[in-house]
Structure 1
Amino acid sequence: MKKLLLLLTFLTTVFSFAQDAIILSQENANEKGISPIWPKCEKSRQSPSQCFDQKLRTHIIQKFEYPDEALDEGLSGTVTIEFIINKKGKVEVLEVTGGHRYLQLAAIKIIRAIPKMKPGLWGEKPIAIAYTVPITFRKPQ
């Protein structure tokens, strides 16, 4: 009986900790309709995920700056940046790949400038949603 009680206690603890670390991908969040809500998307006629995607594209275009160092060295390339909108609605950069370091830093700056928003919800609980975005830097002609 003690072994059974110990096993149940262990399993309950494992499951309660596991639920705190749930991170859904953008695709899964969109399927389940639990995307984070970008500021001013509550009043949009689009779905929250469509509005989020549109606002993210617009944000990247508006915040895009080609780094001077990259221009001087003639650097170009695509930087892929993985980030989450955490349970508090804030951006956290997880991984950055591709491109030169100068381009990576510029991409991080763009993503970190994403405004705080309402987090995605799993039932009544806030949940982190992961996104992967490629940002292409082409040398101006």
Structure 2
Amino acid sequence: MKKILFILLFVVANVFGQNTTEVVIARDYTTDSEPEEIPITIVEEVPLFEECKTLPKINHRDCFQEMMSKFIQKNFYYPEEAQENKIQGRVFIRFVIEKDGSIEIVNVRGPHKILEDAARNMFKKLPKLIPGTQRGKPVRVSYTVPITFRLE
């Protein structure tokens, strides 16, 4: 019994005898630094195609998506070489809509270079857009689009 009491006393003394120091690292989040780019899913005002600007703000996101789909359908091109070699798959193209509305292609990933080049060439034809805004100022907005090349 004395051994158990001694061990219990020893454990309690060790627990309460520990010196705890709390280190707090403060960050100043009040700076006006803005992020490099804002994903389209969280930007306050999405970039717009010219055809969308007359619509109410509540419809801007839907209009952007619809116009992007129409653009892809209109400009889609499946390279003959890829068809002949039965190359198919999904290409992800990531681009940034700049503060001036121009497009910068950032990254293209796909199963084959032929399909990547086809997607890149398609998005080089994307017209200049009305830039997205955050807190009333134009910002760079990132957007990723999957393009599926499938043989039927």
**TM-score (normalised: structure 2):** 0.73
Q: Which residue of 2 aligns with 1:60?
A: 72
Q: Which residue of 2 aligns with 1:114?
A: 126
Q: Which residue of 2 aligns with 1:97?
A: 109
On the 8 A contact 1:83/1:132 being kept in 2, the answer is yes
Opposite residue 73 of structure 1, the aligned amino acid is N
Q: For the aligned residues, what is the CA RMSD? A: 1.8
Structure 1 position 54, deviation (Å): 0.4
Q: Which runs of 5+ in 2 are unaligned?
A: 1-27
Q: Percent identity?
A: 31
- If you compute each CA radius of gyration, which structure gives the higher value, 1 or 2? 2
Q: Which residue of 2 aligns with 1:35?
A: 46
Q: Which residue of 1 aligns with 2:63?
A: 51
Q: Secondary structure at the match of 2:41?
A: helix
Q: Which residue of 2 aligns with 1:25?
A: 39
Q: Secondary structure at the match of 1:133?
A: strand
Judging by fraction of residues, say which structure has more strand.
Answer: 1
- The reply on whether 1:125 has 2:137 as its aligned counterpart is yes
Deviations 1:108-138 (A, max 9, x none): 1112211101101123321011111100001
Q: Which residue of 2 aligns with 1:74?
A: 86
Matches of 1:113 and 1:78 in 2, distance apart? 20
Judging by fraction of residues, say which structure has more helix.
Answer: 1
Structure 1 position 72, deviation (Å): 2.0
Matches of 2:96 and 2:113 in 1, distance apart? 21
Q: Secondary structure at the match of 2:52?
A: coil
Alignment length (residue pairs): 122
